[in-house]
Amino acid sequence: MESANPEEIKKAVRSYVVVFVTLLCLTFVTVAVSYLKLPRPQAITLALIIATVKASLVAAFFMHLISEKKVIYAVLSLTAAFFVLVLLLPSLTLYTNSGHLG
Amino acid sequence: MSDTVIPYMVKPHPITGLPNGKLGIWLFLASEVMLFGALFSSYVLLRAGAPHWPPIEPGEAAKLSSELLNVPLATFNTAVLITSSITMVMAWASLQLKSLPKFRIYMGATIALALVFLVVKYFEYAHKFEVGHFPSHDNFYGIYFTMTGLHGLHIVGGIVVNTYLLTAGSKLWNTDPEHFANRVENAGLYWHFVDLVWIFLFPALYLL
Amino acid sequence: MSTQTTTHGNGNGHGAAGAHGAHADHGHGAHELPFWRKYIFSVDHKVIGVQYAVSALVFLFFGFTLMMLMRWQLAYPGQPLPFFGRFFSDAVMPGGVMQPEFYNQLGAMHGTIMVFLGVVPLAVGGFGNYVMPLQIGAPDMAFPRLNMASYWVFLPGGLLMLSSFVMPGGAAQSGWTSYPPLSDIATVGQTVWLLAMVLLITSSLLGSINFIVTIIQMRAPGLTFWRLPVFVHAQFVTAFLLLLAFPPLEAASVLQLMDRLAHTSFFLPSGLVVSGELLSKSGYAGGGSPLLWQHLFWFLAHPEVYVLVLPAMGIIAEVIANNTRKPIWGYRLLVSSIIFLGFMSFVVWAHHMFMTGMGTAMSTFFQTTTMIISIPSVIILTCLLMSLYGAAIRFTTPMLFALAFLPMFAIGGLTGLPLGLTASDIYLHDTFYVIGHFHYVVAPGTIFALFAGIYYWYPKVTGRQMNSKLGKVHFWGSFVAINGVFMPMFFQGMAGLSRRLYDPTVYAHGRGVQPLNVLISWSAWILAVFQLPFIVNFFMSLRAGAKVAENPWRSTTLEWFAPSPPPHGNFPTQPVVYREPYEYSVPGQTDDFHPQSAGKA
């Protein structure tokens, strides 16, 4: 994203505002959903989905990923893979001697 | 030494399409993903291993996270941070439109909003301490204070960098505007990441 | 002092005007930097590389000294240390007899210092910083000031780490692995260890970003990925390991600091009893998991051991190609194996935790990945070994160390197998077998490779050769002594002797192998003596070594086409690369080597 012409920038700014409003709405949705007092697995799944959508919007538009080159995607996919790995880490400690969830 | 010229510091590399700084900041963010990822991972473990979450106070009924923490205040803070994200990207866009005054306004707003976030956090923390809920109280408060605290330190770092870019650092706009715009963009990438972490932190700690 | 960008067409500022600017520096007083900016807070990767290397060598010898003290206690348990005993306070060695707590401090700090202050800063901060930009034809690192910052965060971290020895209660003493609950409740030295680790990890992070961006963005024209020297590939993968694996340890250190300073219980389980008292009485809430620390720690520490070995393999490849006058056998296979090794290193960590009560599903998974990871290691070793086939070997000092690396690393690797297989690990875990295994890879493995690197690149850094007679004495003495130190440990381990044990003779099975402890200790002290020729050689050759021109080893890679030592900006004109890195003994060529940057065809 180097010096683009003013028209492109104005278009980008419009998309920023749309994303901003969407993010605010999704924030209130997140809080509203929490009042539904869903059972835990569903609550976690829904909250994570909404958070991921918000994060994707920030990454794609505010962080310009949608117009970025392949190298960044490569760094990101690598990171995503390792992030998943480190996240799975604690689940390993939940297994007991007999191989069952304890 | 002051005259060694580093290629692709401002202009992008022909193959990767990136200036050095942008690649550098994305790599830094990759390491930050692993840092906060490890903390989220620890949170999952501590929570999964606890008989109740939040742990039940002796002699009291079970409570939810949203009852122990201030959800309205945190929702407000989430909105504050999201707003600071758009002001940050607008600051960069102002530079693309060649307007330093507009840049200053948006960057100033970003810093101001960040300070608001910290002030709200201060009140949140102070209230907890007043009622004797320190990090040592139990692992719920432990992980809450640790994760929001580390996140808060990252906000402070962002404020420092952004303040530099607003003040002394903006002199670079006069001699090398593209270089300055790149720096603002890179600072913006960091700032959006800090916002991203909060987007996950807020539901994970306060709502679930 | 911002580096101005001059955009000459392709954005590469190293055209004639840029180079002229760099060269013109030396004539003009106006551009001369003051002493403190030239040698102390320098942003030149070569100065920073030397700073890292010298600091790391000092830390290495310090860590070595700690071990020599431990070896006295192991060989002669409970005996007062002759002559040197008087220099230690009564708190740690009353009457020259080592206290168990001091033994534990020496053990924990020896490991920490060697890994984090010695080997990695030398292999990556020293060699990586100095050689890599030269090998890719770059004028410096992508971020010279970040480079300087990373050294000046490393050094305070290292000094802080050492200062823990003078804290009340002494240095960290819960192993280099700092397992809770012990580390959570240990003396102040442990807090200092954690704070120092935060600084060291930060330094490492800044450095790894620099390395990756430099290798991706700043290669000379014509230097494609498959034309990079193995050394650069190794540094590239190592940088990714450091970037992604260190943060979980940083997170864990933050959590342990919170446990120690804010009395949280991230790693303290409920109902923990310390010295007959429930810990909850001291204000700890409990509910934590010691295993969480282990997972977070080993998530870093396993990739860390590949950080220890990959740069070494890179150095060995360079030295072998150069001294066999042949290309590396299976270059692409070797490089691919290094990359695969990097990936696999992230999924084997729990093989350090087989004895923690994990279920068979988990242990089977990690056993399998551990077996798989031995494959790329074997491929790498095979390629290096096959590179010797049919060669007219020049037995220079670096080559001697490189040749020794091969069987030594092989022994280290092979002895890892019974540790990676869960059934045999049940018996061997936490015994001296483990110590023998990892020291073989790191000591006659990596450290020998680092010596090879020092002898090899010394002429480039200083413009002089090291003395080869002293070099050979250093090599042969070290080679024999080091095997005397570590080979007997396998037998001790198989006899069941535990590691981290202050007095081996309290157990009958320990008493059975006690004579080996005497052999090991004397070998260690003899090993120390044989480092003297190296130290003497290193300093003496600075003044009295034979002066050499650019390329005394007649090598093909780019660093040998900068002056010795290279000036700021490294190359008078931007090198262009036309061929693979190891074009030695090419049929039809007059010379037995064809440099990467020599004119077309």
Residue C600: its pLDDT value, please?
64
Q: What is the mean pLDDT of residues A12-34?
A: 93
Q: How many CB pairs under 8 A join B and C?
A: 194
- Domains held by chain C: number: 1
Residue C352: its pLDDT value, please?
96
Q: How many helices (DSSP H) and strands (DSSP E) are in chain A?
A: 3, 0
Q: What is the mean pLDDT of residues C320-335?
A: 97
C-alpha closest to that of A63 among B195, C504, C424: B195
Is residue B11 in a domain?
no
d(CA C337, CA C345): 12
Q: Is the dihedral of CA A66, A69, A74, A75 positive or negative?
A: negative
Mean residue pLDDT of chain C comes to: 93
C-alpha closest to that of C567 among C152, C31, C93, C5: C31
Instruction: Name chain A contacts of C244, Cβ cutoff 8 Å.
Output: 78-79, 82
**Residues 14-73 of chain A whose Cβ lies under 8 A from any Cβ of chain B:** 16-17, 19-20, 23-24, 27-28, 30-31, 34, 40, 43-44, 47-48, 50-51, 54-55, 58-59, 61-64, 69, 71-72
Instruction: Name chain A contacts of B23, Cβ cutoff 8 Å.
Output: 71-72, 75
List average pLDDT for each run of 10 residues in chain B, which is 208 residues long. Answer: 79 91 95 95 90 89 91 96 96 94 97 98 96 94 97 98 96 95 96 96 94
Which chain B residue lies closest to A84 (C-alpha atoms)?
B37
Residue C162: its pLDDT value, please?
97
Is residue B13 in a domain?
no
Residue C379: its pLDDT value, please?
98
Contact B204, B43 (CB under 8 A): yes
Which chain B residue lies closest to A63 (C-alpha atoms)?
B189
> What's the gap in Å between the CA of B102 and the closest CA on chain C?
25
d(CA B94, CA C245): 38
Q: Identity (one letter) of the amino acid at C293?
A: W
The encoded tokens of residue C548 equal 């050499």
Nearest neighbour of B23 by CB, restricted to C217, C243, C258: C217
B31 and C288: CB-CB below 8 Å? no
Mutate to test the interface with B, among C41, C43, C213, C243 (most CBs of B within 10 A): C213
Query: Residue C238 burial (CB < 10 Å; 0-12/13-18/19+)?
Result: buried
Give the pLDDT band of residue A81 (cuts 50, 70, 90). Answer: confident
C14 and B10: CB-CB below 8 Å? no
Q: Which residues pair with C464 in a beta bridge?
A: C547
A27 and B90: CB-CB below 8 Å? no
Residue A93: its pLDDT value, please?
60
Q: Is B157 an 8 Å CB contact of chain C?
A: no
Q: Is C142 an 8 Å CB contact of chain B?
A: yes
Give the pLDDT band of residue A5 (cuts 50, 70, 90). Answer: confident
B90 and A90: CB-CB below 8 Å? no
Mutate to test the interface with A, among B20, B85, B139 (most CBs of A within 10 A): B85
Instruction: Name chain B contacts of A94, Cβ cutoff 8 Å.
Output: 45, 48-49
pLDDT greater than 90 at residue C101:
yes
Range of the domain at C475: 2-12+35-265+286-561
Nearest neighbour of C266 by CB, restricted to B32, B34, B46: B46
Instruction: Name chain B contacts of C289, Cβ cutoff 8 Å.
Output: 45-46, 49
Is residue C21 in a domain?
no
Q: Is the dihedral of CA C463, C218, C343, B29 positive or negative?
A: positive
Q: What is the mean pLDDT of residues C408-413?
A: 97
d(CA C495, CA C489): 10
Q: What is the mean pLDDT of residues C434-443?
A: 98
Give the pLDDT band of residue C13 (cuts 50, 70, 90). Answer: very low
- φ, ψ (nearest 5 deg) of residue C278: -65, 130
- Domains held by chain B: number: 1
Residue C2: its pLDDT value, please?
38
Which CATH number is C379's domain given?
A: 1.20.210.10
Nearest neighbour of C262 by CB, restricted to B34, B45, B135: B135
Global confidence as pTM: 0.93
Is residue B64 in a domain?
no
A96 and C350: CB-CB below 8 Å? no
Is residue B154 in a domain?
yes
Q: Is A101 an 8 Å CB contact of chain B?
A: no
- Residue identified by tokens 């090998």 is C135
Nearest neighbour of C22 by CB, restricted to B3, B137, B143: B3
A95 and C289: CB-CB below 8 Å? no
Contact C24, B198 (CB under 8 A): no
B30 and C243: CB-CB below 8 Å? yes
Q: Is B12 an 8 Å CB contact of chain C?
A: yes
Residues 6+ apart with CB under 8 A from C43: B1, C140, C144, C145, C147, C148
C346 and A82: CB-CB below 8 Å? yes
Contact C484, C437 (CB under 8 A): no
Nearest neighbour of A27 by CB, restricted to B12, B79, B204: B79
Which chain B residue lies closest to A55 (C-alpha atoms)?
B196
Give the pLDDT band of residue C230 (cuts 50, 70, 90). Answer: very high
Give the pLDDT band of residue A95 (cuts 50, 70, 90). Answer: low
d(CA C122, CA C446): 11
pLDDT greater than 90 at residue A73:
no
Among B141-150, C21-30, C37-46, which range has the highest average pLDDT?
B141-150
Q: What is the DSSP letter of B59?
A: T
Contacts 24+ apart (CB under 8 A), C535-540: C536/C470, C537/C466, C537/C467, C537/C470, C537/C471, C537/C474, C538/C454, C538/C458, C538/C466, C540/C467
3-class SS at A101?
strand
Contact C333, C383 (CB under 8 A): yes
Q: What is the CA radius of gyration of chain A?
A: 19
The encoded tokens of residue A20 equal 């901003």
The encoded tokens of residue C370 equal 């551990």
B7 and C14: CB-CB below 8 Å? yes
Is residue B2 in a domain?
no
Q: How far is CA B84 from CA A17, B98, C43, in A?
A: 12, 21, 35
Selected residue with higher pLDDT from A77 and B201? B201
**Residues 187-246 of chain C whose Cβ lies under 8 A from any Cβ of chain B:** 205, 208-210, 212-213, 216-218, 243-246
d(CA C278, CA C514): 38
d(CA C132, CA C138): 9
Distance of CA C418 to the CA centre of its chain: 24
Mean residue pLDDT of chain A comes to: 81
C-alpha closest to that of C315 among C203, C458, C114: C458
Instruction: Name chain B contacts of A30, Cβ cutoff 8 Å.
Output: 202-203, 207
C362 and A98: CB-CB below 8 Å? no
What is the largest distance, in Å, between two alpha-carbon atoms of chain B?
70
d(CA C251, CA C297): 9
C251 and B134: CB-CB below 8 Å? no
d(CA C400, CA C448): 9
d(CA C465, CA C552): 9
Q: Which residues pair with C278 in a beta bridge?
A: C273
In this predicted structure, which of C279-293, C416-430, C508-522 has the lowest mean pLDDT? C279-293
Is residue B156 in a domain?
yes
**Tens digit of pLDDT for each residue in C198-213?**
999 999 999 999 999 9
pLDDT greater than 50 at residue A37:
yes
Of chain C, the percentage scoring pLDDT greater than 90 comes to: 89
Q: For the CA atoms of B32, B35, B41, B43, what is the dihedral angle to 10 degrees?
A: -110
**Tens digit of pLDDT for each residue in C515-574?**
999 999 999 999 999 999 999 999 999 999 999 989 999 999 999 999 999 999 999 999
Burial readout B75-89 (b: 16 or more C-beta within 10 A, e: otherwise): bebbebbbbbbbbbb
Q: How far is CA A63 from CA B29, B82, B189, in A?
A: 12, 13, 6
Of chain C, the percentage scoring pLDDT greater than 70 comes to: 95
In this predicted structure, which of C6-15, C186-195, C371-380, C495-504 has the lowest mean pLDDT? C6-15
Which CATH number is B100's domain given?
A: 1.20.120.80
The encoded tokens of residue C55 equal 């600091």
pLDDT greater than 60 at residue C479:
yes
Which chains form contacts with chain A, at 3 or more CB pairs under 8 Å? B, C
> What's the gap in Å between the CA of A74 and the closest CA on chain C?
13
Q: Is A94 an 8 Å CB contact of chain B?
A: yes
Which chains form contacts with chain C, at 3 or more CB pairs under 8 Å? A, B
Q: Is the dihedral of CA C42, C47, C53, C54 positive or negative?
A: negative
Q: Is C30 an 8 Å CB contact of chain B?
A: no
d(CA C415, CA C441): 10
Q: What is the DSSP letter of C448?
A: H
State the DSSP string of C379-402.
HHHHHHHHTTTT------HHHHHH
Q: For the CA atoms of C306, C311, C312, C316, what is the dihedral angle to 10 degrees?
A: 130
Which chain A residue lies closest to C354 (C-alpha atoms)?
A97
The encoded tokens of residue C372 equal 């798989």
> What's the gap in Å between the CA of C273 and the closest CA on chain B?
18
State the DSSP string of C253-265.
HHHHHHHHHS---
User: Which H helix or E strand runs over C274?
Assistant: strand C273-274
Q: Is C156 an 8 Å CB contact of chain B?
A: no
C33 and B1: CB-CB below 8 Å? yes
What is the largest distance, in Å, between two alpha-carbon atoms of chain A?
65
**Tens digit of pLDDT for each residue in B12-64?**
999 888 999 999 999 999 999 999 999 999 999 899 888 899 999 888 898 99
